Amino acid sequence: MKQNKKPITLFFLLIFLISISLSVAADNNLDLSKEKLYSGSPKKDPILASSISWYIPGGGQFYSGNFKKGMFFLTTEAALFITTLGLVTNYSYDIGNGFLVDAKDDVTLKDKQLAWGLGGLLLGLHIYNIVDAYKTAKNFNDKIDKEIMDQNLRYVYQDRKDPFIAGILSWKMPGLGQIYTRKYYQGSKFMLGSIVLKIWGFYIYQDLEEKYGEKSFGITWKELSNNDKNLVLTYGIFYVTFEIINIFDAINASKEYNDKQKRLLSNRIEKNIVIDEKSKQLKLVYTWKF
């Protein structure tokens, strides 16, 4: 009687295929655990850098981490603007209406010529500031590309939040930077705090307007009594402190978000199925239980 060897052959073939699969899985898992990830700052958007510098001189340079350049453009343009404005106008600060600007009646020809010259210089510097913001962001990205190439790193920034953008958003609208980093409850608290402060400021101004509004156009600092000055200073300290805390909290929230994403990404690469974005290959890790 002949023995049927077909089931035995299939059994050994199955064992052989399982052995190969386990060997490949071990190799893939070893490669993934040794894979180095770039963990520095994310790349910057040059167009966004230029746009920020259009509205805030030096802002694009700050965004790209070049604080010296950013401070130079910010202070220089501010000084040129104030000097040019002072040559042809009288400006003052009103508590409720902000800065008030009135044209001078006795502007000399020399002052006009100087104002035009400084204004032209300011315009040229501002255009250069926008172009430089674009180049600064490009240089920042080139340094990252060089580091990645030299150290054979993998650049993975699928879902990261930029701390500078978070700070800018919260500067424009308290709590918005926190919402940008998905800290919704935290952001809503800062929004509510901002509303409370603005309501408080509105009532302070209404009270001051009843006392001083009829005497002159607007309310100037010299008109206020000592008690009212202390009240305005107290409100100003509260408001500025709130804004500073709000901005730095948004920056920290973005850093916490990025750290969390980095840990999640690292765990996924070490333990789970991953996709190699460069080669567009799917790397599988097989697990067999007996």
- How many domains is the chain partitioned into structurally? 2
Q: What SS3 class is residue 13?
A: helix
Residues spanned by the domain of 131: 40-155
The answer to whether residue 188 sits within a structural domain is yes
Q: What is the pLDDT of residue 148?
A: 86
Q: Are residues 51 and 164 in the same domain?
A: no
Q: For residue range 73-119, what is the model confidence (pLDDT) as tens digits?
A: 999 999 999 898 888 877 666 665 666 666 777 778 888 899 899 99
Q: Report the chain's C-alpha Rg in angstroms.
A: 31
Is 35 part of a structural domain of the chain?
A: no
Long-range CB contacts (within 8 A, 24+) of 197-204: 197/238, 197/239, 197/242, 200/235, 201/235, 201/239, 204/231, 204/232, 204/235
**Which pair of tokens denotes residue 55?**
């509205």
Pair 274, 283: CB distance under 8 Å: yes
In the listed set 155, 177, 207, which residue is the last one of a domain according to the structure? 155
Angle, alpha carbons 70-75-78 (nearest 5°): 125
Both 281 and 218 in one domain: the answer is yes
Q: Are residues 285 and 233 in the same domain?
A: yes
Same domain for 208 and 286, yes or no, is: yes
| Domain match, 106 and 178 both | no
- Let me know whether 170 and 244 are in one domain: yes
Q: If you average pLDDT over residues 188-214, what whole number do you get?
A: 85
- Does residue 132 sit in the same domain as residue 213? no
| 210 and 110 in a common domain | no
List beta partners, residue 90.
102
Identify the domain boundary among 104, 129, 155.
155
Query: Do residues 190 and 267 share a domain?
Result: yes
Domain membership flag for residue 189: yes
Average pLDDT over residues 239-261: 91
For residues 238 and 281, membership in a common domain is answered with yes
Closest listed residue to residue 137, CA positions, set 208, 58, 48 = 48
* pLDDT tens digits for range 6-44: 566 665 666 655 555 555 444 444 444 456 777 777 788
Highest mean pLDDT among 95-109, 134-148, 204-218: 134-148
Whether 141 and 194 map to the same domain: the answer is: no
For residues 119 and 88, membership in a common domain is answered with: yes
Partners of residue 103 on adjacent β-strands:
89
